[in-house]
Amino acid sequence: MKSDLVTALRQNHALEHATVSLLTRKLDSNVRIIGTSTFDGFYIYGNVPSKAVREAATEGLARLQGGERELGVSPFCGTNIMVAGMMAGVACLIALGGKNKGQRLSLAIMAATGAIIVAQPIGRAAQKYLTTSSNLSDVTIKRITRRGAGERILYKVETARG
C-alpha cells in the first residue's frame, strides 16, 4: 500500500511537470504557474484558461506514455532547490569547521557556491530517480476541476491507475 502511494505521487509529480512545461510553452510568458503533486493527482495554480490546462495535461500524459521522459523533470522543481540547499549547508558546515570562523567566511561562500553549481545535475538526477516516475502506462486523467477567480485560480487534476 505504501509503495503504491509513493508510486502514485512520483507519477503525478512527473505529469505535473509535463503539464506545467507545456502550459508555459503555449501561454504568455508573463503568466505565473505553480504546480503541487498529491497522491491522487496534482494542483495547478495560475490564471490560465481551463481548456489550456486540459490540453496540456492530456498532451503531457500522452507524451510521457509515449516515452518522452524528459518532460517529467523540471529545472524549476522544488527538489532542485532542496538538494542545492542541503549541499550548500553541508559545504558551509565543512568550510566553517574548526577555529577562525570569521576568517573562513570567504571559503564558506565559495564552498556554498560550488555546492549549488554541482547540485544542479544532482537535483535533476534526484527528480529522475527519486521524486518522479515517467512510467505512467497505467495512469489516466479522471477529472479536472477549477476553483477561484481572477488571479487566484486553482485547478485540481485528478488521476487514476489501472
Residues 6 or more apart whose CB falls under 8 angstroms from that of 50 comprise 144, 146, 155
pLDDT exceeds cutoff 90 at 103: no
The CATH label, of 3.90.1720, 3.30.980, 3.40.30, 3.30.1300, for the domain at 2-73+132-161 is 3.30.980
Neighbours of 79 (CB within 10 A): 20
Q: What is the pLDDT of residues 113-138, one digit of tens each?
A: 999 999 999 999 999 999 999 899 99
Domain extents for the chain? Answer: 2-73+132-161, 80-129
Q: What is the pLDDT of residues 32-72, one digit of tens each?
A: 899 999 999 999 999 999 999 999 999 999 999 999 999 99
pLDDT at residue 1, rounded to an integer: 58
